[in-house]
Amino acid sequence: MGVGRGYGKLLLFGEHAAVYGHPAVGIRLDEYLEVEISCGSAPDWSLPGLDEPEASLIRTSLEGLPGSPEPGVVRIRGTLPMSVGFGSSAAFCTGVLRAAGFPGDSLALWEAAHRLEHVFHGTPSGIDTGLSVYPGASILYPKPPALPDRAPARLPPAWLLVGALPRTSTTASLVTGIRTLRDRDPSRVDAILCELGSLSRDAASLETCPDAASLGRLADEAQTRLASLSLTTPELDLALAALRTSGSTGAKLSGAGGGGAFFGVFRDEAGAASAARILRATLEREKIAIVHLTVVRIA
């Protein structure tokens, strides 16, 4: 039937705060999942190479495709690591819609991908699918159950070293953990979530964030708050410390935490590339696995 690409995302600011209505800022990554659908007349979808329960979730999402295509073979390949906070389920949703020949514009694609993503996450915020559809940087204001409002974000000229460690928890359990913390101490947790939202606003404005030094400072401020919500791990702390001592202006986790995605901010590409070498050596020495490491220009 066709082949379609869906891109991954990197949340820069606002993770967890977005669950409580605060804005989030992120970028679309170049890393993608490519979905190939070959339609047939089999009784069910075949997903070579995929294990349960992932295959079963994907089968359910295929039943929700517009036009209800005949079941066939679905192959997924690409450069985006799965389940570490780079939005692989959103990338799959946009990729499979494009593979199925979805005819709409970006907003229609976002709406359709958001509907499909309910199969993977009971109540997706729409942030990952929005970041997957729109190129560049965005600021998103959650409006559940509707899609968030989205505007392009103007980020300062900077380079990011983007990496991921294996995850020790799922997004669902980390989100539940914050809910439990908030039930116990609502005034402290709400104040932190509010500050995280305000850091998103600051990062998306060149007046408050004109350069890589300011962006790094905001990243460090957000990381302090995320750590105070117990979202970091010793391995992640070690990676972020290595980035800070190798020239980063600031560094933080990205996404739900518990390991997973992270980034450091740099003034130039050479600085980010040199920090990548130092980080790899540090993690290797400590026998910490790394899932992904890449340098990204943001403006």
Label residue 116 left, alpha or beta by phi (over 0 means left) and psi (-120 to 50 means alpha).
alpha
177 binds ligand PMV (CB under 6 A): no
Query: Considering only 10-18, 39-47, 55-63, 206-214, which stretch makes contact with ligand PMV by CB under 6 A?
Result: 10-18
Q: Which pair of tokens denotes residue 156?
A: 């300062």
| CB-nearer residue toward ligand PMV: 34 or 117 | 117
List 61, 129, 132, 171, residue binding ligand PMV (CB under 6 A): 171
Q: Which pair of tokens denotes residue 214?
A: 């300011």
CB of 97 to ligand PMV, least distance (A): 19
CB distance 25 to 204 below 8 Å = yes
Q: Residue 258: count other Cβ atoms within 10 Å of its Cβ.
A: 22
Distance CA 266, CA 213 (A): 8
CB of 220 to ligand PMV, least distance (A): 19
Residues 121-140 contacting ligand PMV, CB under 6 A: 125, 127-128
Site for ligand PMV (CB under 6 A): how many residues?
14
Residues 200-259 contacting ligand PMV, CB under 6 A: 255-256
288 binds ligand PMV (CB under 6 A): no
CB of 165 to ligand PMV, least distance (A): 12
CB of 257 to ligand PMV, least distance (A): 7
Distance CA 198, CA 210 (A): 16
Distance CA 99, CA 91 (A): 12
Distance CA 252, CA 164 (A): 11
| CB-nearer residue toward ligand PMV: 120 or 159 | 120
List 50, 73, 82, 175, residue binding ligand PMV (CB under 6 A): 175
| CB-nearer residue toward ligand PMV: 28 or 267 | 28
List 12, 16, 200, 229, residue binding ligand PMV (CB under 6 A): 16
b/e for 176-215, b at 16 or more Cβ within 10 A?
ebbeebbeeeeeebeebbeebbbbbbbbbeeeebeebebb
CB of 124 to ligand PMV, least distance (A): 6
The helix (run of H) or strand (run of E) holding residue 149 is strand 146-152
**Helix residue ranges, H only, 210-268:** 212-228, 234-245
Q: For residue 295, give the 3-state DSSP assignment.
A: strand
Query: Considering only 54-62, 64-72, 120-128, 143-151, which stretch makes contact with ligand PMV by CB under 6 A?
Result: 120-128
List 4, 78, 85, 250, residue binding ligand PMV (CB under 6 A): 85
Distance CA 229, CA 128 (A): 22
| CB-nearer residue toward ligand PMV: 206 or 289 | 289
Query: Considering only 12-20, 48-56, 149-157, 274-282, which stretch makes contact with ligand PMV by CB under 6 A?
Result: 12-20
List 10, 18, 35, 96, residue binding ligand PMV (CB under 6 A): 18
Give the list of residues 6+ apart from residue 192 with CB closer than 8 angstroms, or none.
Answer: 225, 228, 229
Note the residues at the interface with ligand PMV (CB under 6 A): 15-16, 18-19, 85, 87, 125, 127-128, 171, 175, 255-256, 260
